Amino acid sequence: MMNQPINSPQFFLTAPSDCPYLEGQSERKVFTHLVGEKARDLNDLLTQGGFRRSQNIAYRPACETCRACISVRILASEFEITRSMRRNRAANRDLVSTEYHAEPSSEQYRLFRRYLDSRHKSGGMADMSIGDYAMMVEDSHVDSRIIEYRLRNEGDGVQEQPTGELAAVALTDRMGDGLSMVYSFFNPELSERSLGTYMILDHIARAQALGLPHVYLGYWVKGSRKMEYKTRFLPQEHLMMQGWQRYEP
C-alpha cells in the first residue's frame, strides 16, 4: 500500500442529492479540506481549477450526467462598465464600504437572517444559527475578509469606523490572482438599489486597485434565472474542458 505525502490533499465524493438549480437533476460534489500551512496555496490552485470554498472545505461539482455548472471569473483589468452599471454606482454613492478581517458580528447575522428569510427560505442555509454563521465566517485557513457596506452617516470619514445602517456584507477571499466572492447578502428591503450588482462592481474596483487580474464569481448555470446576472460583467472567462476560455455572449 502506498503512503500518501502529508501535504497531498485527499479528495472525497458526496452522495447524490437534488440539484438546487435545475429541476429534475441531481448533484454530486468532490471536496477536500483546506487546513494547515498549505491552505492558502491550495485554495489558489483549486479556485483556478474551478473549486469553491465553504469554511475549510474546497468543492466543485462532479455530477454524472450534467455539466451545467461553469466557473466564471471577471477580467478585472479589462472590465467595461455599462451605462446601467454606472447608474447603479451613482445610486449607491451614499454607501461606505469597509474591509475587516473575517470576524462575524450579531449585526451581520441579523442582516443575514433577514436576507435568507426573504430570498432563500427553503434553501440549504435556511436553518443556520448564529453559531453556524460565525463558523461560515471564521472557519478559514486562507486570507478571508469581511466587507461591510453601510449607509453613510454624518461624521463618517472622521470617525474610525462608519456607523450607518448595515446594508450589505460580502465574505471574500484574497488570492494570488484575484478576489473570490465566497458569499454575499444584503437588506432585502433595499432591493431597488441592486446591491448584488454594486458589490460585484466594488470588488472589481478593489481588484484593480490591488493589481489583481480576476474576480471569481463562482458558478454560472445556463438556464437558471438566478444565475443570469453573472454573465453581465464583461469581459469574463469560463472554465471549459480546454481551460479558461473567453466568454462570447
pTM of the model: 0.91
pLDDT number for residue 162? 81
- Name the pLDDT band for 2 (thresholds 50, 70, 90): very low
Residues 186-206 have pLDDT tens digits of 999 999 999 999 999 999 999
Distance of CA 163 to the CA centre of its chain: 25
pLDDT, mean of residues 17-26:
86
Q: How confident is the model at residue 20 (pLDDT cuts 50, 70, 90)?
A: confident
pLDDT over 80 (residue 157): no
Q: Which residues contact 198 (CB under 8 A, 6 or more apart)?
A: 88, 89, 92, 95, 149, 168
Give 39-54 pLDDT, tens digit per residue.
999 999 999 999 999 9
Kindly tell me if the per-residue pLDDT of 4 is higher than 60.
no
Average pLDDT across the chain, whole number: 91
Cis peptide before 5 (omega within 30 of 0): no
Tell me what pLDDT residue 159 has.
57
Q: What is the largest CA-CA distance in the chain?
A: 67
Which domains does the chain show, CATH number per domain? Answer: 12-70 (no CATH), 73-246 (3.40.630.30)
- Find out whether 99 and 146 touch, Cβ atoms under 8 Å: yes
Are 247 and 235 within 8 A, CB to CB?
Answer: yes
